[in-house]
Structure formats: structure tokens, C-alpha cells
């Protein structure tokens, strides 16, 4: 019962580490408690139970936005499925506590399980990765070296090492041969992370700068029918852009080089509806800058794509669309429904999922700015920013800054948008790029390459954010080495899992009997 309570508390503390709270240190304490609960456990079913309870304590309070307009069943079902992964972690981790370098194995297995749930099934669900709860803490700098996997690894290692230190100290006599290496492992990643911060920004004096504007036009209503009123969402974004144009003409603010609209900012297809095209052209011409327009485009095969169009109203009619990006990682149960006949048995809302087509290409668009400068802009639309490969692909394709058009109106006034914003902050540090987040109803933000937000909007209000951002062309270590550190960790983790399936094998180098270190 005590171990179950400790596991549940660990899960709740992991949730508390996530935005909008700035309690990143609870993520370390959370995994320290999980390591303590798994200490000296030898039965697989017990390890699974403690890991599963930890998952419920974390995912249930993290994900209620899933069911805010569709009922609790999808929310609870997803939380349970995600908890199966932490249960699997418990199965493996409780046995690796007797292995040499047990603390390292704890962290390796944590990264492996996070990779698994971020990949399977249906493309995975990366929400709630440990790294996304660290954007307010010192370990965020490690993202510039190894991305989200290294941050998650470091939090798990520090938490497990903390448990090992405490466990060794409270035993009598104190086993210094355990305390010293565990203490070193507990301190090494925070020290390295702190040392990295001066180099995190990644800018140099030769970087150009541009002025960007993120438009948050707002929506007429909350919920799944946010766009039922034809052209209302588009009208809102045009209106807010015209306000910016008036401020520019009055000399109250600088003319932006690029304007970023959110996902679904045009609720009707401007490539097929002349009235929508005319409105967007007028807004772009008035502000004197190209607009990245989020919209839905119906293609020749009848299937829609979630699209960002580079729209330049300064050009002649018929030549305004200068580039296009189609969302490449589409969202299951939203933009498409896997196993449609099966899932509609559980919720009538499931059948409302779309039949979107995934895009292809390098993940960037070329934009000619107000001043005639050619800028390569990376695009990660909403759901995509949760996946490592989206921003990485864009930067490796030459993106000088990242744009994240998103529409969170269907999730109401929940914490979902803050959780997603944290992902954009991590991507900024990971790749050394400024990030512009444009949301239909909030929260929009302009994020510096060091992960700090220079400006941020509120919820469900029209807003314009404007700022100067660097155009960076260099690559961080994380960008250069890509997914290889995670692949190595996963390879080791899978080998460890297969090794555990072999009967009769048990290491005793770090066992309770010899060292008193079960973490």
C-alpha cells in the first residue's frame, strides 16, 4: 500500500512539474519517488503495478482537455493506455536495479519507454514527455546537445541517483562505495546543464534580424463548432491584421517583414473561394507584408490537407500564393480515424474525425520579406511540434526560424495550450532558432532561441504580437546528430528487455545485499 501511494504521488508530482506551473524540480522528485517505489521489487506484476499507478497519477490530471467537449471516455481511455507504458517501465526497471550501472539503466529504460509511447500505436502520443516539463529549469539547456531525449534521460538519472544517495545514507553503516558514485550521477547533469547556458542562444553577430507579427484573431465560440459560422474566423484575423496595418501607417509600430496567422485562420479554402482570397489579399496589401495563412485545402482527390499558404497581397492577382506547406504528421482521431468502425462503437464523436491527407516535402517555405529578403521558414503545425522529427527536418532543410500555427479552440480554457507552448520553447533551444507561435484563440508567443518568451498573448482575445527575431543558419549539436543518441538508448533498452526474458540471469553487482542500492 505504501509503495502504491508513493507511485501515485510520484505521478501527481510529474503532472505538477508541467506548465502552466513553473515547478520543473518536481519532475526530478517524481522519478525519485518512482525509483523508491521500485526499489527491491523483484516480481514483474508488482513492478508493472507501481509503474501503472504512477502513470495514472500523471496522465489523468495531464489530459482532461482530451474530453472537454467529447466526454470523459476518450480522456480516461488514453490515460490508461499511456499508463500501460509506464507499467512496462516498472516491469523492466524493477529488475535492472540489480544490474551494474543500475542508475544508468533506469534512465535508459525511461527514454526507451518514452520513445515507445511516442511512436506506437498510430504514430504515437508524445504528450507528457518528461523533457516538456523542464522548460523552466536548468536542464533545458541539454536540449541543445541531445534534444528532448537527453533532457528526459538527465531528469530520470538525477531522480534515480537522488533515491540511491538517500537510500545508502539512511542505512547503517553508511555504504560510501554507493553514496559517492550515486552522488556524482545526481550532480553531473545539473552541473553540465548550468555550464551550457552561456552558449545556448547560438546567435552570432553576422545573423540577420527581421520583424515578425503573430496574429491571434480569436474565434466566435469555443468547442468543436468554433468555425460553424462561415468566414467568421477569417474575418477576425483579417480585422486584427488591418488593425496592425493602421498602427503601421500611423507610425505607432514598425512594419513587419512577415506576418504569421494560425492554423485554420481561414476557415474556408481561399484557393476555391474568391471572397476569402480577396480578404486575405486585402489584409496582406494593407500591412505591406506576406502572410503565412493557415487553412484547409480540398485537393483533386477530394481529401483535404491542413495547409499553410504563403500569401503575398503585394503581387498581381493570380500570383499571390508564393508557397505551400501541408501538415505532414496528421493527428489520429482528429484529422483521421484509424479503425473507424471499431472506435465509433465507443463514442459518436469519433466519427467526426476527418479524412485528411498527409503532406510531404522538406518542412519549410520560402518567403520574400517586406524588404525583399529571402527567408526560409520552418513550419510545424500544431500537433507536429510534439514530434522531434518535425522541427529537426525543417532546420536541417535550412529553416532560419520556426513557425508553429495552431488552433486550440476545440480544447477550451484548458492547460493544453500551455503544455504545447512548452514544446515550442524546447524546440527553440534544441535547434537554436526563434519560434513564432500563432494560435487562433491563444496562447500565441514569440520565443527567443534560448527558450524564453519575449511576448505572449492571453486566452480567447484578439491580439497581435510583434518582435524582432534573429535569422540563424548554424546548427546545434542536437540538430547535427539528430535522433542517434535516442536510437542508441532505445537499442540498449530493447536489448535489456530481451535479456530479461532469458530465465535464470541475475546480476548482483548493485544488488541490495551487496551495496544497498536498489535504484
Residue with the three cell numbers 464523436:
349
Please give, one letter per residue, the 3-state secondary structure of 331-364: CECCCECCCHHHHCCCCHHHHHCCCCCCCCCCCE
The answer to whether the Cα torsion of 183, 186, 192, 198 is positive or negative is negative
How many residues are given for the chain?
519
Active-site choice (114, 327, 384, 430) = 327
Could you identify the residue written with the cell 476555391?
Answer: 272
Helix (H, G, I), strand (E, B) or coil at 308: strand
C-alpha–C-alpha distance, residues 198 and 155, integer Å: 21
Nearest to 167 by CA among 58, 55, 37: 37
Q: Which of 114, 240, 263, 368 is catalytic?
A: 263
Q: Are 153 and 110 in contact (CB under 8 A)?
A: yes
Tell me, yes or no, if 327 is annotated catalytic.
Answer: yes
Rg of the chain, C-alpha, whole Å: 24
Strands 321-326 and 258-260 come out as: unpaired
Order of strands across the sheet that contains 208-216: 321-326, 304-311, 291-298, 258-260, 208-216, 463-471
Task: Determine phi and psi for 307, rounding to 5 degrees.
Answer: -120, 145
Residues 420, 133: contact at Cβ < 8 Å?
no
Quote the CA–CA distance of 109 and 494 in Å, as a whole number. 9
Catalytic choice (382, 393, 430, 486): 382
382 is catalytic: yes
Residue with cell 496592425: 244
Which residues lie across from 401 on neighbouring strands?
Answer: 377
Has 94 been annotated as catalytic?
no
Which residues have a catalytic role annotated? 263, 327, 382
Amino acid at each position: 500500500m505504501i509503495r502504491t501511494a508513493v507511485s501515485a504521488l510520484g505521478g501527481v508530482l510529474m503532472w505538477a512539474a508541467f506548465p502552466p506551473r513553473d515547478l520543473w524540480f518536481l519532475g526530478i522528485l517524481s522519478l525519485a519517488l518512482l525509483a523508491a517505489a521500485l526499489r527491491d521489487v523483484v516480481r514483474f506484476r508488482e513492478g508493472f503495478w507501481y509503474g501503472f499507478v504512477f502513470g495514472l497519477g500523471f496522465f489523468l490530471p495531464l489530459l482532461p482537455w482530451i474530453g472537454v467537449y467529447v466526454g470523459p471516455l476518450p480522456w480516461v481511455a488514453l490515460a490508461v493506455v499511456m499508463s500501460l507504458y509506464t507499467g512496462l517501465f516498472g516491469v523492466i526497471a524493477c529488475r535492472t536495479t540489480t544490474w551494474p550501472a543500475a542508475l544508468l539503466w533506469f534512465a535508459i529504460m525511461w527514454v526507451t519507454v518514452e520513445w515507445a509511447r511516442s511512436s506506437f500505436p498510430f504514430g504515437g502520443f508524445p504528450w507528457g514527455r518528461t523533457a516538456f516539463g523542464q522548460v523552466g529549469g536548468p536542464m533545458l539547456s541539454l536540449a541543445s546537445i541531445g534534444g528532448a531525449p537527453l533532457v528526459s534521460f538527465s531528469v530520470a538519472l538525477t531522480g534515480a541517483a537522488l533515491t540511491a544517495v538517500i537510500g545508502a545514507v539512511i542505512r547503517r553503516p553508511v555504504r560510501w562505495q554507493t553514496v559517492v558514485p550515486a552522488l556524482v550521477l545526481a550532480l553531473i547533469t545539473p552541473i553540465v546543464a548550468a555550464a551550457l547556458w552561456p552558449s545556448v542562444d547560438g546567435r552570432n553577430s553576422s545573423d540577420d534580424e527581421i520583424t515578425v507579427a503573430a496574429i491571434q484573431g480569436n474565434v466566435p465560440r469555443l468547442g468543436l463548432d468554433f468555425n460553424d459560422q462561415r468566414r467568421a474566423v477569417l474575418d477576425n484575423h483579417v480585422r486584427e491584421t488591418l488593425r496592425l496595418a493602421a498602427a503601421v501607417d500611423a507610425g505607432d509600430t514598425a512594419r513587419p517583414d512577415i506576418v504569421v496567422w494560425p492554423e485554420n485562420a481561414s476557415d474556408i479554402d481561399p484557393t476555391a473561394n474568391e471572397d476569402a482570397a480577396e480578404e486575405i489579399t486585402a489584409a496582406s496589401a494593407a500591412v505591406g507584408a506576406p502572410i503565412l495563412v493557415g487553412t484547409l485545402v480540398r485537393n483533386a482527390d477530394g481529401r483535404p490537407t491542413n495547409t499553410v499558404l504563403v500569401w503575398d497581397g503585394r503581387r498581381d492577382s493570380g500570383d499571390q500564393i508564393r508557397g505551400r506547406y501541408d501538415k505532414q504528421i496528421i493527428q489520429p482521431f482528429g484529422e483521421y480515424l484509424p479503425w473507424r468502425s471499431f472506435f465509433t462503437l465507443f463514442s459518436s464523436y469519433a466519427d467526426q474525425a476527418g479524412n485528411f491527407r498527409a503532406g510531404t516535402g522538406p518542412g519549410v517555405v520560402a518567403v520574400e520579406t517586406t524588404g525583399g529578403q529571402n527567408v526560409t521558414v520552418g513550419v510545424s503545425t500544431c500537433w507536429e511540434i510534439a514530434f522531434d522529427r518535425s522541427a529537426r527536418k525543417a532546420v536541417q532543410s535550412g529553416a532560419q526560424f520556426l513557425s508553429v500555427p495552431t488552433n486550440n479552440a476545440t480544447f477550451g480554457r484548458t492547460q493544453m495550450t500551455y503544455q504545447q507552448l512548452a514544446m515550442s520553447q524546447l524546440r527553440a533551444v534544441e535547434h537554436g532558432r526563434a519560434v513564432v507561435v500563432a494560435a487562433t484563440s491563444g496562447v500565441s508567443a514569440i520565443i527567443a532561441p534560448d527558450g524564453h518568451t519575449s511576448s505572449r498573448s492571453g486566452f480567447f482575445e484578439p491580439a497581435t504580437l510583434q518582435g524582432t527575431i534573429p535569422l540563424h543558419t548554424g546548427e546545434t549539436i542536437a540538430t547535427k546528430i539528430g535522433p542517434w543518441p535516442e536510437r542508441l538508448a532505445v537499442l540498449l533498452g530493447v536489448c535489456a528487455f530481451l535479456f530479461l526474458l532469458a530465465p535464470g540471469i541475475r546480476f548482483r553487482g548493485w544488488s541490495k545485499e551487496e551495496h544497498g542500492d536498489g535504484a
